[in-house]
Amino acid sequence: MADNQNKSPEFENLKKEIQDIRNLINKTDNLVMNLSADIKNVYKRQEVFYKRSYINGIVVYILFIIVIIFLSYKAFDVKIKVVTDERNRMKDELDQYSQEVRNLKEQIQGRDNIEKTILQSLSLVDEGKKEEAADMIMKIASKDMTAFQKRVINDNINSIKRELFLKYTGKALDNINNKKLDFAEENIKKAYGFINTDEEYIKIISVESDFYIKKGDSAKAEEILQSATKKYQQAQNAAELYNKLALFYEMYGRRKDAINTYNELLKLYPNSPLAKNALRRIRALTKEKTE
């Protein structure tokens, strides 16, 4: 009984210690469980982080691959464009060279035809067919020719036209003198077709004025003479027009107009061979007026 009483406090202490140990163990278990839960949470978060990092890495890699493919495509597209542009440039150059070759062939062919035409026209001249020769030469005169061909053309056509102009002018004068006015008019028109110089214009206008005088149309004759004196003042034989006009006025008794026209001739062409004659006619007409 006494022993139980003596042991009782120790037992109680032991019991209390055991209880404290149990509590401590329980707390430790709780701590371990909480730590384990925290570790699991950390692991889970780390696992999620790793997964996200892995996914992000894959996404970045995929984006990188896409960018590389896009840049490669652009570079390839640029290269294709460069190659296409170069091909088009070469094609344009080839077309240009082809056109130049065709043009050269046409020029060579044209010049061969020109040379043949020149030879044919010269043969016609030798045969006395000068009008046909002139028509043939005039048809090719505007085409592409070498300097030598142009010189040959010009020399021949000017010579032929001069001969034909004189031929038809002479025929027209003969027709006028013989009162064959229809033939005269036809030959005057033909002569106009072979005029080369202002001097020739003046000659045919003089003949044409005779035609209208013979025809009885003095107004038309005066009109073309007056117009010509203004238009061809710089021609070498322009004094002939003034002399012709003054004679026209004398023919129709227009003494004052004749004197004025002779005075113009003297003023404009004092060194002309017709100047002395004009001075004589002025004196004669003035004398007639006073008498």
Tell me which DSSP letter residue 158 carries: H
Supply the pLDDT for residue 226.
94
Nearest to 242 by CA among 225, 224, 255: 225
- Average pLDDT value for residue range 125-148: 63
Q: How confident is the model at residue 93 (pLDDT cuts 50, 70, 90)?
A: confident
How many whole angstroms from its chain centre is CA 13? 125
pLDDT in tens, 256-290: 999 999 999 999 999 999 999 999 999 999 987 66
When pLDDT is averaged across residues 33-62 and rounded to a whole number, the result is 78
Q: What is the per-residue pLDDT for 193?
A: 86
CA atoms within 13 A on the CB side of 234: 2
Q: What are phi and psi of 275, to 5 degrees?
A: -65, -45
- Choose among 192, 162, 187, 163: nearest CA to 173: 187
Confidence of residue 58 (pLDDT cuts 50, 70, 90): confident
Q: Residue holding tokens 């001249």?
A: 125
% of the chain beyond a pLDDT of 70: 79
